[in-house]
Structure 1
Amino acid sequence: MINYLTDRRDQIVFWETPTLMQPLYGEALQKPEIGKHRFVIASDGVYVEAINPVLEVRLPVAKSGIKLPYGKIGAVGICLVNGKIPKRILQDICEKTFLCGEYEWAGLVVWDKIRKEYELYEPEVISFSAGHISYRNVLPDKYNLVMDLHSHGTVPAFFSKTDDQSDIGGFYIAGVVGNCDSGEPTFATRIVVNGHFFESPDFRKFFN
């Protein structure tokens, strides 16, 4: 399949992040390898696919200007493997961001592999102020990371260059809550897939 790649380094890149054809006639592709991502070329363009123990992702990367001779990709979006997150956790997140007011707050929504349930985990904070927060994002082994959230105090929600550096690795939903001192907070969301950033529905939509 990759015999045309004559350089071993190119072969390694392909195996680590393959680009595959969406079958037009044959059986559907098997799911990606856990924790890794791949690109799939379908009839209308390129998609990214990834899976980990708590998330499954299939999202558009680039639309083709012509119809390609490949199969249709099927449903796209972000799926929580263990179902939606309880609304009480979202309420807890909102309360904590509002109580912190002008100061930034951070919290991680995790899946407890032992208890088989979602939890809000507050990481150890190294430093924080009205303009930044630094925290340790190493989780206990019993947790899988689902969401990495933080607040922006009185500033609107957006992803800063610092956030871009923080999100350079990993595979999770990232969210920001802004204008926490007002009655009309703002929200920003994206999904991080091994250093790549993709658009995502508002993180509040993953709660029920």
Structure 2
Amino acid sequence: MMTSYLTDQRDQIVFGETPTLIQPLHGEELPKPETGKHRFVIAGDGVYIEAINPVLEVRLPVAKSSIKLPYGRIGTVGVRLAYGQIPKRILQDVCEKTFLCAPNEWAGLVVWDKIRKEYSLYEPDVISFSAGHISYLNVLPDEYELVMDLHSHGNMPAFFSKADDKSDIGGFYIAGVVGNCNSGEPTFATRIVVNGHFFECRDFRKFFSSAG
């Protein structure tokens, strides 16, 4: 893409870190995004964000165009797990722990173990917790890749608070909240976090298999 019009080096740096590409109407498909970074793609019907990391691949709509643009159609939209669905037993473990911890909040990270080649649930070191908050370290051992950052709201409904917005300001993962944990009918909230941007996402329970 021609970038010679970017005469200020600061604009060049921004474009280099977060490029905007055009979806080809003819010719070859775009190469995959650089690992860990995100980019924007302008297609015939609007703007999309694309990003990949070792465990996730994302392509989601950002803005719909009010007119037909002279570019190609985007491919499959959504969030894909590089290593397939997560075992159901991990979701069951999450729900049990949130129930047992209520009315206090709980936190857990679903990770991909690069050595064992499997998903597991990692409980981070908790700094403080109560019925209204939880603070925890999200620094992982080197052998893990973060897939999901989960926490509970105790007896309150599931939603993303302002504190969650601050916590999720960086990184690239699926974020989930479990609420009403001891009611028998827990509630759930989900979003995808892409380097400080938040996007609606299908219920995080859909990323778990129906068996095992």
Q: TM-score range by the shorter chain?
A: over 0.9
Correspondence 1:14 to 2:7? no
Give 1:28-177 correspondences, 5 Å limit.
28-177=29-178
SS in 2 for 1:187: strand
**In the TM superposition, what whole-angstrom CA distance separates every residue of 1:11-69 from its partner, at most 9, and x where no partner exists?**
11001000000000010000000000000000000000000000000000000000000
Distance across 2 between alignment mates of 1:74 and 1:162:
34
How big is the shift at 1:116?
0.4
Correspondence 1:197 to 2:198? yes
Distance across 1 between alignment mates of 2:5 and 2:24:
21
Alignment match, 1:178: 179
How big is the shift at 1:164?
0.1
> Runs of 4 or more off by more than 2 Å in structure 1?
none
SS in 1 for 2:98: helix
Distance across 2 between alignment mates of 1:73 and 1:95:
40
- List alignment gaps of at least 5 residues for structure 1: none
Distance across 2 between alignment mates of 1:166 and 1:88:
27
SS in 2 for 1:126: strand
Q: Which residue identity is paired with 1:85?
A: I
How big is the shift at 1:74?
1.4
How big is the shift at 1:181?
1.5
Matched residue count:
208
Distance across 2 between alignment mates of 1:88 and 1:48:
32
Distance across 1 between alignment mates of 2:149 and 2:66:
35
**Normalising by the residue count of structure 2, what TM-score does the alignment of the two structures yield?**
0.98
Distance across 2 between alignment mates of 1:85 and 1:18:
32
Q: RMSD of aligned C-alpha atoms? A: 0.4
Amino-acid identity (%): 83
